[in-house]
Amino acid sequence: MDISTSSFHRAHKVSLLRRQPSSPVNSVSVIGFSLPRITSPSLDKCRRKRSSFGVVRACVAVEEKTRTAIIRIGTRGSIVISVALLDSPLALAQAYESRAKLQAKHPELTSEGAIHIEIIKTTGDKILSQPLADIGGKGLFTKEIDEALINGHIDIAVHSMKDVPTYLPEKTILPCNLVREDVRDAFICLTAASLAELPAGSVVGTASLRRKSQILHKYPSLAVEENFRGNVQTRLSKLQGGKVHATLLALAGLKRLSMTENVASVLSLDEMLPAVAQGAIGIACRTEDDKMASYLASLNHEETRLAVACERAFLETLDGSCRTPIAGYAAKDEEGNCYFRGLVASPDGTRVLETSRKGPYVFEDMVKMGKDAGQELLSLAGPGFFGN
C-alpha cells in the first residue's frame, strides 16, 4: 500500500496545528536551547549567561521578572522566537495548567510576573536520532530539570509522571499530582479507523516498547517503526508525510494541546494498557522548601496521587526501564476500591504476562498491591525475560 500517494491520504490530511497556550507568555526564559540570532528592541535587552550548572541561559526580555517572581516553574517546553519552535509544546501546556491552578488558589500569584516559567531542554529533547532505549532510558526528560531545582534556579518542577524515574533525586520531593487526564491511547491514521482495520504489512510508528509489544502481540501481521520520536506535531507531520501508516499517541496529551481532531479512534484498556502514570502531571519541590510544599499541597489530587503511587510501586519492583515493555493502571472502582492491572511483555510481543489486584483505596495497601503484582510477574517471567 502506497500511503504517500493514496487518494484517502490526499483527501484527509492530518491537521497539524502548532497550537500555543492561550495564556500570554509574559515571563519565560530558556535553558539549554540554541536560539537563532534575532535582533529586536526587546531582545536587545537580553543577556546570555551561564548558570551554575554549566548550561546556557537565553533571556527573553524577562531578566527582572525572573528575579522578582514568587514562584519559578521549571519544565520542558516550547517557545516561538521568530520562526523557530522549540520543544515541547505539551510540556509547556502542562506548565501553564499548573500556573493557572496556582493562580486560582492563591490571589497573590495573579499579578504579572508573580509566576515565571523557566524552559529547560533535557537530554531526551536533544537526542532525537536514536530510540530512547539506546540513550539511557531513565531520567532522560527530567535530569536537567532536577538539577535546576536542586541548585535553586527554579522553585518547582512540572513533570509528566510517566517520565519520572521511580527514585527521586536527593533534596527533592514530589508531593503533588494534578487531576489525571484520560489514560488511554489514541489511534491516528489517514486510511483506517482502528489497528484491526490496517492491512497486513502496515507500519505503525511508535518509540514506545510498551505500545510495540502490545501491537505485535494482538496484530502480528503489522510492523512497527521504533525510532518514531519527536513532539506531537513532529510525529503527526511524519504520519502525513507517509513515513508510517499509523501511530499511537497518549490521548491526555492531545487533549491538553486541543488536538483531538486528529484521533481516528480511542483504544480500550483491554486493547492497549497504558504506561505507568500516563496522563498524570507531577510537581516537585526541594525537600526543605516549606513555602513551595504548601503551595503544592493546595493543588494535590489525592486520588490521582494514590493511583500513581500504586503503579510506580509496580514499576519499581520490576526495575523497569525504556528497554522493558511494562504497563500498569490503578483506578477507583464503583465500590470505592482500588483495581490494579499490570503487564510485562517481550519486545517482540510473543510473550505477554498480565496480573491484577483489588483492595482498599489506601496508600499503604495500594503500594503493597503494586509491589505484590510486580513480584508475581517477576516470578512468572523467570530469568532472562527482561533481557538486561
Query: Residues with catalytic annotation?
Result: 163
CA distance 298 to 135: 37
Bridge partners, residue 355, by sequence: 342
- Residue appearing with cell numbers 520490576: 318
> Which residue type, as a one-letter code, is found at position 186?
A
Q: What is the pLDDT of residue 35?
A: 36
Reduced DSSP (H G I as helix, E B as strand, rest coil) percent helix, strand, coil of the chain, to 5: 35, 20, 45
CA distance 355 to 371: 12
Query: Which residue would you say has higher pLDDT here, 309 or 40?
Result: 309
Q: What is the pLDDT of residue 380?
A: 94
pLDDT of residue 128 exceeding 60, the answer is no
CA distance 5 to 12: 12
CA distance 34 to 170: 29
Q: What is the pLDDT of residue 39?
A: 36
Other CB atoms within a 10 A radius of the CB of residue 135 amount to: 15
Under the banding of pLDDT at 50, 70 and 90, the label for residue 24 is very low
CA distance 365 to 387: 31
Least confident of 90-104, 174-188, 230-244: 230-244
Strand order in the sheet with 338-345: 326-332, 338-345, 352-359
Please enumerate in sequence order all residues whose Cβ is within 8 A of that of 242, keeping only pairs 6 or more positions apart, or say none: 3, 4, 5, 9
pLDDT in tens, 353-367: 999 999 999 999 999
Least confident of 50-59, 188-197, 235-244: 50-59
Please enumerate in sequence order all residues whose Cβ is within 8 A of that of 316, keeping only pairs 6 or more positions apart, or say none: 166, 167, 371, 374
